[in-house]
Structure 1
Amino acid sequence: MIWLLRAGLGALALCLTACDPVVRHKTLSTIFDGVPTLPPTDEYCVDFARQYHQEQLGLAKVEVKEEGPKGSTHLPYGEKRCADCHGSDKDKSGGLVVPKQELCFKCHPGFLKGAFQHGPAAVGDCLACHLPHAAPNPDLLGAPRDQICGRCHTEERLTNRMHDRLKDSKIACVECHDPHAGDARYLLR
């Protein structure tokens, strides 16, 4: 019985210290009386994003990384290992060793762990965001990191409220949202 109490207290502590201010507020206001109301969504989300962005900048300063080339090349392509993906039989349908929807997961498993999955990733359409051989952007992205999501996600809900105020900040969507899968709605990190 004590283990159950400890597990419950641990879960409560995790919820109370959640990164998301909405989750934290819901938890606190459910348990305690007199919890102040949240400011308007656009205020706390911008503040939260700004704080997160500053933390990431701080981490980047600590991790000394060599500046690499601006673009990226898929390792098998760069090493002329075409057969890894295309096989040696050029007559195969599409010229791939397995269907396109399965190909990337041969070498990149585990990207779809989580209760929620990004649509293209869930069906193996990695090429919706990534280029197969080389790209002018990091991570084989087909567009710059701060523009890639806007190629498909043009819904009004993404261009108003909290996101509207983030446009000029150069915060990329992937700083708050996981591009592949996650356990939180909207793929929030």
Structure 2
Amino acid sequence: MKNVKAKYIYYIFFTISFIWSCSPKQSYTIKSFFFDGVPNPFLEEVAILEDSSQLSLAGTNNDIATVMVPKEEFILHEPYKTRDCSSCHDRNQMGKLKLPTPNLCNLCHEDFTITFPVVHGPVVSGSCSQCHEPHQSKLKSLLKQPTQELCIACHETHFSEENRIHKSVSEKICTECHDPHGGKDRFLLESGICYKCHTDFESKFKILHGPVYTQSCFLCHGTHASKTEKLLIKPVNELCLGCHESNAIFSGSYHIGAEKAECTSCHSPHGGSDFKLLLN
């Protein structure tokens, strides 16, 4: 009997010693699993007045609210910041989530399957935690990794093989053009995204070239990279003659002998003052 008690005492002593010898993060994880009210080492407690008009009464407990303020290096999910664990976790079910994702996330966040006609893969599968941390992160939007690292983890790139790379790609900001949750088509591009950085041709030209008018920039330009100048998907004349019938063009008096010239030597590819889009 004494041996059983001794083993039990030794087990308790060993467990306590193990927990207290862990790193602060691991120790907090273990302790908070078994006990409520364990101080979080990544938060610092400060006293904040509920109302600045109560400054004269700041000496009484009723006028001061004690809140947990995150350390600067972490961005905290609001329920985690306010220690409102029960908003996501069921205390009666050993801390299991109250609902499966994304149903749980959609209680507070926008349901992107309703917002967008086409949604990003992780959104379709309800895998919010594939990109976002549920509790805290050092990155904006509680991302698990920097934006580019997250995107490239699933989307393969071959941009190193190309000569000219779109600025946003070279600067590694995928979300400058793509919505990470959804869009109107499978490219998840925001409406009029090209005009976000490039000249607004509608104010510059009286007549717009067809692809410019329909905001179909990618009919002529590569979206990420190209071996051709201006990120064109083909050489200039191949692009132009792909839509404009060559026999009719070169049979006219103005174009006789112009087969070797580039169309953009005389015509603006984006717009002009008349339907011929001639350069001034």
Which residue matches 1:174?
Answer: 264
**CA contact under 8 A between 2:208 and 2:272: conserved in structure 1?**
yes
Helix, strand or coil: the match of 1:186? coil
Change (3 A) 1:160 1:105: same
TM-score (structure 1 length as normaliser): 0.54
Q: CA deviation at 1:144?
A: 1.1
Unaligned residue ranges in structure 2 (runs of 5+): 1-161
**1:72 is the counterpart of 2:146:** no
* Distance in 1 of aligned mates of 2:222 and 2:263: 19
**1:133 is the counterpart of 2:224:** yes
* Distance in 1 of aligned mates of 2:230 and 2:166: 9
* Distance in 2 of aligned mates of 1:187 and 1:105: 20
Which structure ranks higher in relative contact order (CA pairs < 8 Å, sequence separation ≥ 6)? 1
Q: CA deviation at 1:121?
A: 0.6
Q: CA deviation at 1:131?
A: 1.0
Q: How does 1:1-20 map to 2 (within 5 A)?
A: none
* Distance in 1 of aligned mates of 2:250 and 2:244: 9
**1:143 is the counterpart of 2:210:** no
Which residue matches 1:16?
Answer: none
Task: Summarize deviations over 1:138-160 as a string: whole Å, max 9, x none.
Answer: 10101112322111112543131
**CA contact under 8 A between 2:183 and 2:190: conserved in structure 1?**
no
* Distance in 2 of aligned mates of 1:95 and 1:163: 39
Which residue matches 1:98?
Answer: 190
Helix, strand or coil: the match of 1:188? coil
Q: How many residues align?
A: 115
Helix, strand or coil: the match of 1:83? helix
Give the partner amino acid of 1:138: E
* Distance in 1 of aligned mates of 2:251 and 2:170: 41
* Distance in 2 of aligned mates of 1:71 and 1:182: 30
**1:85 is the counterpart of 2:177:** yes
Q: How does 1:29-44 map to 2 (within 5 A)?
A: none
Bigger shift: residues 155-164 or 75-84: 155-164
Q: CA deviation at 1:122?
A: 0.8
* Distance in 2 of aligned mates of 1:184 and 1:97: 31
Unaligned residue ranges in structure 1 (runs of 5+): 1-69
The 4+ residue runs of structure 1 with deviation greater than 4 A are: none
Task: Summarize deviations over 1:25-55 as a string: whole Å, max 9, x none.
Answer: xxxxxxxxxxxxxxxxxxxxxxxxxxxxxxx
Task: Summarize deviations over 1:121-172 as a string: whole Å, max 9, x none.
Answer: 11101111111001110101011123221111125431312324110xx321
How high is the sequence identity, in percent, across the aligned residues?
32
**CA contact under 8 A between 1:137 and 1:145: conserved in structure 2?**
no
Q: CA deviation at 1:185?
A: 3.5
Helix, strand or coil: the match of 2:237? coil
TM-score (structure 2 length as normaliser): 0.38
Change (3 A) 1:74 1:156: same
The structure carrying a bigger strand percent of its residues is: 2
Which residue matches 2:48?
Answer: none
Backbone CA RMSD of aligned residues? 2.1
